[in-house]
Structure 1
Amino acid sequence: MAGNKEFSRLLNLLKDAPGLVIAFSGGADSAFLVAAALIAGVKSVLPVTVVSDFFTAGEKERVVRLGQYMGIAPVFVSANILDEARVTRNTDKRCYFCKLFLFSRVMEVAKKHGIHTLLHGANLDDLREFRPGMAAARELGFKTPLVEAGFSKEHIRACSKILGLETWNLPAQSCLATRIPQGDIITKEKLVKVERAETCLHGLGFGQVRVRCHGNLARIEAAPDDLHRFVEPGVRQEMVQTFKRAGFYYVCLDLDGYAPTTDT
């Protein structure tokens, strides 16, 4: 990526670190950050993935694939997020308390390995959105080199494509907790229902999609261009059957389509 001033700036920010611990979700931003750290020649790069009930099996599989592609082994750490009442109460501070809880686990790994520099993959676009978790990460001492280097989401995707990362065109991701309306208690049962339902939709070829859990009712948000597909007989039948097996009584489609503003 010769001539890419942001990428050169990023490598300069990373290259002199004796070691880096990177919060690695397997999304586009953190994957690109891990790749950049390796290209920069950092002696010790440790991607840490926190696995909780908010993290899907598909996301874990992607982390493994990315690690294999980049030639690095992510460290998986388990966290019992549903034991944290400040998170499960699902107030407007859920994201803050969640990030505080999960990133503290990343810090424990860093301390165990004697690495003092902690990073996460926030980008410039994140600064324009309501993201309470950013404050928690900052309080814990996590740095944001993608922001410092001037990377937008679009730029990260473009560079990721050049690097051959499968995440270059990955739809926007958010944890499963965002599928539960604010004020509703987050439970294992609700999260499992949502994950099964969304896995079904991904298997049917839907990319940017969310299943919002309103008790026994599933409200599907999909990209506007995909809305017409839900009336196709094969799609509708498989979807309804799978959703009901997952525990939903009713299945409805939100005609407004996917709303990223609710992914917090």
Structure 2
Amino acid sequence: MISKLIAHLQPLGRVAVAYSGGVDSTLVLKAAVDALGADHVVALLAVSPSLPQSEKDEAVSLAKQLGARLELLPTKETNDPQYQANAPNRCYFCKDHVYRALRQFAEQNGIMHVLDGMNAEDTLDVRPGRAAARELKILSPLHDLGFSKKDVREAAKAVGLPNWDKPAAACLASRVPYGTSVTPKLLSQIERAEAALFDLGFRELRVRHHGDVARLEVPEADLVQALQQRNEITAALRAVGYTYITLDLAGFRSGSMNEVLKARAA
């Protein structure tokens, strides 16, 4: 399928890629470089308090491995009162800031097309940010070509991307219940909590913030490990400011904060 993606990108000439270091946007970046040449592609990484430092560092390193030009663009979504209010459409205000910054950079550098890494399955969950992408004419080649997440990982593995099996990531604000104000201080607390648990050996997890309560989600296969390390986990999360530590017995679910929206709509 990678040849199909490369052929799809070849007519575009010059492109900017909304790049996060995740497998989807990395595959788009790799295909764009192969299709158009490194001189005609720039990866744009939006940097704000909602991006963990570890994710930023990994993304920078990976772009260098691919020989791609990388630009770090500071974005100001966390200063926006509409973003901070954390209504169910928070993602729209986030993506509006991010995509406007990317589109502005592209236009200032004579680049017509901005690509993102949305795949064909990403529309199955609540995605208010897609409206911002449509308004700013962001192209989604993986979605347009029908790439599922499985297709993306298989293609990434086939071309030798080192992050082909990297767990899906999401901005730190996705750990906060709707209606709870999102601030840089709160995002930093969540980042430090998750970093501490990665240091304990967990590869995929979310620390969902509920005031004094940290609700830990890990894959079902890691629940026993979490119970065995409960003392270390408790100490680590109390060290960053949580009083009560809970383990979600339903396990890790991407987008679990949206479950309350689906329940209300039922």
Q: Please, what TM-score do these two structures have when normalized by structure 1?
A: 0.93
Matched, 1:148 2:126: no
Amino acid corresponding to residue 242 of structure 2 in structure 1 = F
- Deviation string 1:183-222 (CA, Å, 9 cap, x unpaired) is 1111122111111111111122212210001111101011
- Deviation string 1:198-247 (CA, Å, 9 cap, x unpaired) is 11111222122100011111010110110111222xx3333222211211
Matched, 1:21 2:20: no
CA offset at residue 96 of structure 1?
A: 1.0
Label 1:18 to 1:263 Cα distance change in 2 as closer, same or farther (>3 A). Answer: farther
CA offset at residue 69 of structure 1?
A: 1.2
Matched, 1:80 2:76: yes
Contact 2:206–2:252 under 8 Å retained in 1:
yes
Contact 2:32–2:41 under 8 Å retained in 1:
yes
Tell me the C-alpha RMSD between the 2 structures.
1.4
Matched, 1:244 2:238: yes
Contact 1:22–1:48 under 8 Å retained in 2:
yes
Contact 2:27–2:152 under 8 Å retained in 1:
yes
Mapping of residues 182-193 of structure 1, within 5 Å: 182-193=178-189
CA offset at residue 8 of structure 1?
A: 2.5
Work out the CA distance in 2 between the residues paired with 1:223 and 1:178: 17
SS of residue paired to 1:169: coil
Give the length in aligned residue pairs. Answer: 257
Amino acid corresponding to residue 13 of structure 2 in structure 1 = P
CA offset at residue 261 of structure 1?
A: 3.4
CA offset at residue 18 of structure 1?
A: 2.0
SS of residue paired to 2:177: coil
Work out the CA distance in 1 between the residues paired with 2:165 and 2:226: 23
Mapping of residues 12-91 of structure 1, within 5 Å: 12-42=7-37, 43-91=39-87
Contact 2:17–2:114 under 8 Å retained in 1:
yes
SS of residue paired to 1:184: coil
- Structure 2 unaligned regions, length at least 5: 259-266
Work out the CA distance in 2 between the residues paired with 1:263 and 1:133: 16
Q: 1:99 aligns with which of 95, 101, 104?
A: 95
Matched, 1:160 2:156: yes
Contact 1:53–1:81 under 8 Å retained in 2:
no
- Structure 1 unaligned regions, length at least 5: 1-5
The residue that corresponds to 2:261 in the other structure is none
Mapping of residues 170-249 of structure 1, within 5 Å: 170-232=166-228, 235-249=229-243
Q: 1:110 aligns with which of 106, 112, 116?
A: 106
Matched, 1:9 2:4: yes
Work out the CA distance in 2 between the residues paired with 1:188 and 1:115: 32
- Deviation string 1:159-192 (CA, Å, 9 cap, x unpaired) is 1112221221111111100100011111122111
Amino acid corresponding to residue 252 of structure 1 in structure 2 = T
Q: Please, what TM-score do these two structures have when normalized by structure 2?
A: 0.92
Work out the CA distance in 2 between the residues paired with 1:220 and 1:240: 10
